[in-house]
Chain A
Amino acid sequence: MFFSFTYLRPPGAVKEAEFIKKCIRCGKCQQICPYNSIKLISWQNPFYFGLPYIEPRKKPCYLCMKCPPLCPSGALDRNLKDKYKVRMGIAIINKNTCWAYQGSFCRACFMNCPIFDKALKLTDELLPIVIEKYCVGCGVCEYVCPVEPSAIIIKTY
Chain B
Amino acid sequence: MSFNISGKITLLRRLFQSLTLIVFILIYYTSHKQSFILGTFYSLKIGPIHIVDPYVYITYIIRNFANIDFYIWSFIGFMIPLFVGVLMGRVFCSWICPYNFFYECIVSFIEKIKKQRKFLFFSTSDKTRIVYLLVIIIIGTIFPVLTYLLILPGLFSLLMHQIILYFFTIVIFGVLWILFIFTFDYFWKKRIWCKCLCPTGVILSLIRFKRGLRIIKMENGLCKGCALCSFECPLGLTPHKGDHYAECYNCGKCVDICKSLRKGNQPLKFKFL
Q: Decide if A and B are genuine partners.
A: yes
Residues of chain A whose beta carbon lies under 8 Å from any beta carbon of chain B: 18, 20-28, 30-32, 34, 36, 39-43, 46-50, 66, 70, 72-74, 78
Which partner residue on chain B sits nearest A39 by CB separation? B166
Q: Indicate if the CB atoms of B69 and A43 lie closer than 8 Å.
A: no
Do A73 and B173 touch (CB < 8 A)? no
Flag if A48 contacts B31 (CB, 8 Å): no
- B77 at the binding interface (Cβ < 8 Å): yes
Task: Verify A32–B147 contact, CB threshold 8 A.
Answer: no
- B145 contacts A32, C-beta separation under 8 Å: no
* From B31, B147, B173, contact of A24 by CB (8 A): B147
Q: Is B101 an interface residue (CB 8 A)?
A: no
Given contacts A24-B52, A26-B43, A47-B145, contact A32 B38 (CB under 8 A): yes
Q: Flag if A42 contacts B173 (CB, 8 Å).
A: yes
* CB contact under 8 A between A24 and B161, given known A32-B32, A49-B149: no
User: Are A25 and B42 neighbours in the complex by a CB distance under 8 Å?
Assistant: yes
Q: How many residues of B contact A (CB 8 A)?
A: 39
Query: Do A31 and B64 form a contact, CB below 8 Å, given A26-B42, A70-B35?
Result: no
B170 adjacent to A24 (CB under 8 Å): no
| B contact residues vs A (CB 8 Å cutoff) | 27-28, 31-32, 35, 38-40, 42-43, 45, 50, 52, 56-57, 60, 63-64, 67, 69, 71, 73-74, 77, 143-145, 147-149, 154, 158, 161-162, 165-166, 169-170, 173
Q: When the two chains form the complex, which single residue of B28, B161, B169 contacts A42, counting CB atoms closer than 8 Å?
A: B169
Q: Which of A42, A43, A70 has the most CB of B within 10 A?
A: A42
Chain A contacts for B63, CB-based, 8 A:
21-22
Which of B38, B64, B149 is close to A70, meaning CB atoms less than 8 Å apart?
B38
Known: A22-B69, A24-B43, A70-B38. A48 touches B145 (CB 8 A): yes
